[in-house]
């Protein structure tokens, strides 16, 4: 009968509306549920201000986006095995996303691929791996930053010079890219002899001792590039102790209080600063968006800036040199 046919159509329409409403309600509810994000940084060494500032950015974002965030890290950037174990532990905990600053370009690849196979969103922050498994990479363009350091060194050298590069760890992507950028600018210059890169096994003290050794072995050497905060500070200490700041040109990376002091003293001629607070903040924001199914960029460049004694007192640069640390 016609009325029965109409009733059947109406009942089906009603059921579909109810189902659609339930789906909408469930999705809305899941969007409001706090997400669990595990962040694994290179090191929990509190003497390295870069990671302290980056973690501040993480916590700021975790409050804004209502996420439950755990921050882990190996005791030293050289302990790749510990970092791999921490990623394995995070996978077992089944968070919604993992944010990783990789200690090693190659060795973190298998466990990173395991993250993806586990259905957990992976965001790379600061330092990447030799794989495209991550949903997004939030980092400085380190090749470009290396070029900035190389250009700064080039401008400070007059006549023939030897230049040494001091790297914190051997196989971290950020350091590989920075060195590449420095060498792209300085290589091929007939007045510049680029020495082999010196590795200090994740220690500021080793950087200090290495710089002293280099300066003693090459008394005519005029340039040192430190590829991060500890290598720059260690080299700066050696230059200060040997009283050769007028002769040796030191170009560094990052902006710790010790580096700012060395810059003010004229020991560091320039330093390429990153934006670790923004890096930490955007890594969480991007992880949340990835979990929510939003479209996110594959690479987010947080930028870099060359700071010298001449421009370090400008208001905008002061905000970058003295970030809010510790809360």
Mean pLDDT by runs of 10 across the 327 residues of the chain is: 52 58 49 88 93 96 97 95 98 98 98 98 97 97 98 93 95 96 94 94 96 93 95 98 96 94 96 96 98 97 94 77 56
CATH 3.40.50.2300 fits 142-273, yes or no: yes
Residue extents of the structural domains in the chain:
34-140+276-302, 142-273
Q: What's the pLDDT at 326?
A: 44
C-alpha 280, offset from chain centre:
8
Q: Using N-to-C axis directions, what is the helix angle for 49-64 and 276-291, rounded to 10°?
A: 40
Top CATH class of 34-140+276-302 equals alpha beta
Q: What's the pLDDT at 14?
A: 59
Q: Using N-to-C axis directions, what is the helix angle for 204-217 and 229-242, rounded to 10°?
A: 50
> Sign of torsion, CA 166 172 178 184?
positive
Q: What's the pLDDT at 11?
A: 53
Judged by DSSP in three states, 70 sits in strand
């Amino acid at each position: 009968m016609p009325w029965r046919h109409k009733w059947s159509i109406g009942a089906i329409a009603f059921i579909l509306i109810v189902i659609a409403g339930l789906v909408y309600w469930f999705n809305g509810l899941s969007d409001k549920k706090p997400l669990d994000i595990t962040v694994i940084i290179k090191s929990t060494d509190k003497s390295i201000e870069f990671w302290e500032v980056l973690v501040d950015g993480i916590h700021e974002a975790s409050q804004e986006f209502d996420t439950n965030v755990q921050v882990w890290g190996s005791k030293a950037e050289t302990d790749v095995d510990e970092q791999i174990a921490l990623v394995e532990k995070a996978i077992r905990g089944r968070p919604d996303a993992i944010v990783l600053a990789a200690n090693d370009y190659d060795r973190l690849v298998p466990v990173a691929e395991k993250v993806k196979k586990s259905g957990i969103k992976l965001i790379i922050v600061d330092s990447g791996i030799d794989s495209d498994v991550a949903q997004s990479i939030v980092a400085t363009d380190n090749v470009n930053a290396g070029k900035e350091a190389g250009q700064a060194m080039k401008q400070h050298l007059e006549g023939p010079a030897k230049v040494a590069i001091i790297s914190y760890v051997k196989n971290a992507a950020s350091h590989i890219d920075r060195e590449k950028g420095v060498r792209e600018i300085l290589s091929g210059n007939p007045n510049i002899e680029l020495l082999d890169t010196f590795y200090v096994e994740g220690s500021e003290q080793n950087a200090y001792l290495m710089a002293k050794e280099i300066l003693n072995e090459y008394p005519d050497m005029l340039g040192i590039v430190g590829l991060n905060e500890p290598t720059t500070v260690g080299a700066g200490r050696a230059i200060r102790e040997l009283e050769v700041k007028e002769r040796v040109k030191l170009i560094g990376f990052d902006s710790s209080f010790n580096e700012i002091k060395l810059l003010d003293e004229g020991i560091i001629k320039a330093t390429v600063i990153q934006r670790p607070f923004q890096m930490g903040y955007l890594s969480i924001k991007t992880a949340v968006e990835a979990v929510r199914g939003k479209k996110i960029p594959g690479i987010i460049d947080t930028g870099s800036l060359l700071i010298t004694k001449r421009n370090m007192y400008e208001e905008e640069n002061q905000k970058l040199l003295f970030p809010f640390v510790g809360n």
